[in-house]
Amino acid sequence: MKVLSNKIKYSDTILDNLSALNYKGDREFMDAECVDLCDALNSMKGVTTNESCCGHNHQPYRIWFTCDSLEPLKFIQSCIDRRYWEYGDEWYIEPSISDTKPFLNFALTSKSTNLKTIMVQVKSMIDSFNYYLNHENRFEYLGQKYENFIFTEAE
C-alpha cells in the first residue's frame, strides 16, 4: 500500500515523524492536533503548510497552505469532496489572499468547532489521501500524473 511520506522537510532539516514531534524549530508553537494533517499535506509534492490552528473548541480548525501548481490542490480537493468522503460537507478549501508573501494561500477549514469531532475527521481525511494515492485511475480521472506525488511503501 502506498502512503504519504513520513519524512517531512522543515527548512533545511529532514525529519521522521518521531523526530519532528520533538523538533523545536518551526513546530515550537504548533498545535499538536495539527501536526499529522500538516505532515500529510507537506509530504505532497508542491504543497507547503505555513500556518495552522486547531480552533481550541472556539474556532474552526484551519490549515493554511500554498501549492506550486493547481495539481496538488486538485488532488486534495478531490479527496475531501462530499461525493468521495463521508465528511466532505464538513470541510472546505478557500483562497486566502495576503499582502505579504506568499500572496496566495489556501485555507483548509472545518465547519465545526468541536475538536473531538474534528479530530475524527482529520484522521479520516488523512486516510482518504492515502486511499486515493493507491488508485492510479484517480489521477488519470483528474488529468494528473501519478508519479508527481510523494509516497512511500508501507507494510
Model pLDDT, residue 27: 58
pLDDT in tens, 47-58: 999 899 999 999
Question: Given pLDDT bands bounded at 50, 70 and 90, which one contains residue 146?
Answer: confident
Neighbouring residues of 27: CB distance < 8 A, sequence distance ≥ 6: 10, 20, 21, 35
Taking the C-alpha atoms of residue 68 and residue 41, their distance in angstroms, rounded to an integer, is 13
Q: Model-level pTM greater than 0.85?
A: no
pLDDT in tens, 8-60: 544 444 445 555 444 545 556 688 899 999 999 998 888 999 899 999 999 99
Model pLDDT, residue 56: 93
List alpha helices for the chain, DSSP H: 17-22, 35-42, 70-79, 115-133, 136-141
Which backbone phi and psi does 116 adopt, to 5 degrees? Answer: -65, -45
Question: Given pLDDT bands bounded at 50, 70 and 90, which one contains residue 95?
Answer: very high
Model pLDDT, residue 62: 97
Give me the amino acid identity at 73. L
pLDDT in tens, 63-91: 999 998 888 899 999 999 999 999 999 99
